[in-house]
Amino acid sequence: MKKSKYTEEQIIGTLKQMEAGRAVKDLARELGVSEATIHTWKSKYGELCVRSRSSTASVASV
């Protein structure tokens, strides 16, 4: 299996930018990947974005 060009942190950062309102087309062009790749990342790593956001919210409320 080929090693990914992007680390998990980079992928999650990209997904956070997408959630913040950046267009998938622009992100894909900037990273040199297809729009389908970003949607695949969302299905694989989207859950991690939700977890990281909820863990930072719980730390902030303490």
Query: How far from the centroid of its chain's Cα atoms is residue 2's Cα?
Result: 20
Mean of pLDDT values over 28-39: 95
Q: What are phi and psi of 61, to 5 degrees?
A: -80, -10
Dihedral-angle region of residue 60 (phi above 0 means left; psi in -120 to 50 means alpha; beta otherwise): alpha
Flag whether 3 is in a domain: no
Task: Work out how many domains the chain is built from and give that number.
Answer: 1
Is residue 46 in a domain?
yes
> Mean pLDDT throughout 7-16?
92
Quote the pLDDT of residue 47.
79
Domain presence at residue 26:
yes
| Residue 45 belongs to some domain of the structure | yes
Tell me which residue range forms the domain holding 26. 10-53
Q: Which of 43, 26, 46, 32 is nearest to 4 (CA)?
A: 32
Is the pLDDT at 16 greater than 80, yes or no? yes
